[in-house]
Amino acid sequence: MSIGNSPEDERPFEDVSEEARPSVGRALQQARIAAGLTVGDVSTATRVRIGIVHAIEADDFTPCGGDVYARGHIRTLAKAVHLDPAPLIAQFEAEHGGGRPAPTPAAPLFEAERIRPERRGPNWTAAMVAAIVVVIGFVGFTMVKGEDEGGRTNVADDATPSKKASPTPKSKKPVDPEPKPSDSAIAAAPQDKVTVQVTAADGRSWISAKDHNGRLLFDGLLKQGDSKTFQDSSKINLVLGDAGAIDLFVNGKKIEDDWQPGAVERLTYTKGDPQAG
């Protein structure tokens, strides 16, 4: 008969703090429920799609598009449900190896470059260039013709050369149509298609673009100053990794929005856009 602690009592205490700590997704879900919010409420407040919120709460970070963007979603959702995001991000990095984004495969990039010229409608560019050449040629011809007529008049009437020189300024009036091609070039987006231009104006950003069939048009990193244009017959789907660094033009009009640096945006535009919101 032993006196004192039993063998079970003599076993060292086990540290169950890690096991007791909920996962990142579970912690976000519990905080959301405690705050009395639905998934739809959180999605509306953070502009993170409902499907991605559900996936993160189930600890599935694949729809985020990479560990870097998963950390951004965790930070955004944590703030929305009144949690400190730092411990959750540290836990995520410990479980997922530091959050380095997977390299973009080379094949989709080259495929996007092959697709883009076919979708952009090169005939519009050729027509615009031809119009500019015609206008410039017309202006030059008119100016030369006016100078020739003024010269012949001066030779024939030596007594009044100053009076006959007046037609020369009139020949310069056709120069006015020259700015019209440049104005049309700015808003040359075809009305029967949707045209989206993405420019990394304030920094670099990863972007992804798909057409209405879900075919990948581009998936890669835009450096600061780089620009990409996408065109489709009905719809363009975009994912902006850092929306705060992007200037966005849809059908020739700039999209004005207060996107924050580091915010991930998923957007869809059609022929009738831009629309409010």
**Amino acid 41: pLDDT:** 94
101 vs 261: CA distance, rounded Å: 18
Say what the pLDDT of residue 79 is. 93
Is 90 inside any structural domain? yes
Tens digit of pLDDT for each residue in 33-51?
A: 999 999 999 999 999 999 9
pLDDT of residue 47: 92
Q: Give the pLDDT confidence of 221-260 residue by residue, as tens digits.
A: 888 899 999 999 889 998 988 888 899 898 888 888 788 8
Q: Specify if 19 maps to a domain.
A: yes
Question: Does 26 share its domain with 84?
Answer: yes
Q: What is the dihedral of CA 36, 38, 42, 44, to 10 degrees?
A: -120
Mean pLDDT of the 66-89 span: 92
Q: Which domain holds residue 264?
A: 194-270
Task: Determine, yes or no, domain membership for 221.
Answer: yes
Give the bridge partners for 222, in sequence order: 205
* Contact by Cβ (8 Å): 108, 219: yes
Assess whether 37 and 76 both reside in one domain: yes
What is the mean predicted confidence (pLDDT) over 193-203?
90
- Are 206 and 166 part of one and the same domain? no
User: What are the distances in angstroms from CA 137 to CA 1, 131, 145, 177, 186?
Assistant: 114, 10, 12, 12, 22
- Higher-pLDDT residue of 250 and 16 is 250
Q: Considering its fold, how many domains does the chain have in total? A: 3
**Are residues 95 and 21 part of one domain?**
yes
What's the pLDDT score for residue 227? Answer: 93
Give 13 or 234, the one with higher predicted confidence.
234
User: Looking at the predicted structure, is the pLDDT value of residue 277 above 50?
Assistant: no
Residue 61 lies in a domain: yes
Reduce the DSSP state of residue 221 to 3 states and report it: strand
Whole-number pLDDT of residue 110: 39
Q: What is d(CA 175, CA 181) in angstroms, rounded to the nearest whole number?
A: 12
The whole-angstrom distance between residue 37's C-alpha and the CA centroid of its chain comes to 30
Residue 69 sits in a domain whose CATH number is 1.10.260.40
Same domain for 173 and 198, yes or no, is no
Count helices and strands (H / E) in the chain: 12, 8
Are residue 143 and residue 214 in the same domain, yes or no?
no
**Rg of the Cα atoms in the chain:** 32
Mean pLDDT of the chain: 75
Element (H, E) at 139: helix 122-156
| Same domain as 155, residue 126 | yes
pLDDT in tens, 119-141: 555 577 788 888 898 889 888 88
Contacts of 56 (CB under 8 A, 6+ apart): 24, 25, 28, 64, 70, 73, 74, 77
H/E element holding 44? helix 39-46
Which residues, in sequence order, are CB contacts of 242 under 8 Å at separation 6+? 203, 204, 205, 206, 261, 262, 263, 264
End-to-end Cα distance, the chain? 78
Q: Looking at the domain assignment, is residue 163 inside a domain?
A: yes
Q: Domain boundary residue among 160, 186, 212?
A: 186
- The reported pLDDT for the residue numbered 18 is 56
For residues 145 and 221, membership in a common domain is answered with no
- Asked whether the predicted pLDDT for residue 71 surpasses 80, the reply is yes
Residue that finishes a domain, picked among 141, 170, 186: 186
Assess whether 145 and 93 both reside in one domain. Answer: no
User: What does the pLDDT read at residue 135?
Assistant: 87
Q: How many other CB atoms sit within 10 Å of the CB of residue 133? A: 11
Residues 100/66, Cβ–Cβ less than 8 Å: no
Give the burial string for 2-14 (b: 16+ CB within 10 Å, else e). eeeeeeeeeeeee
| For the chain, percent of residues with pLDDT exceeding 70 | 66
Judged against a pLDDT cut of 60, whether residue 151 lies above it is answered with: no
- pLDDT score of 7 more than 50: no
The answer to whether residue 275 sits within a structural domain is no
Q: Is residue 110 part of a domain?
A: no
Does residue 115 form part of some domain? no
| From 65-74, 201-210, 257-266, the region with the lowest mean pLDDT | 257-266
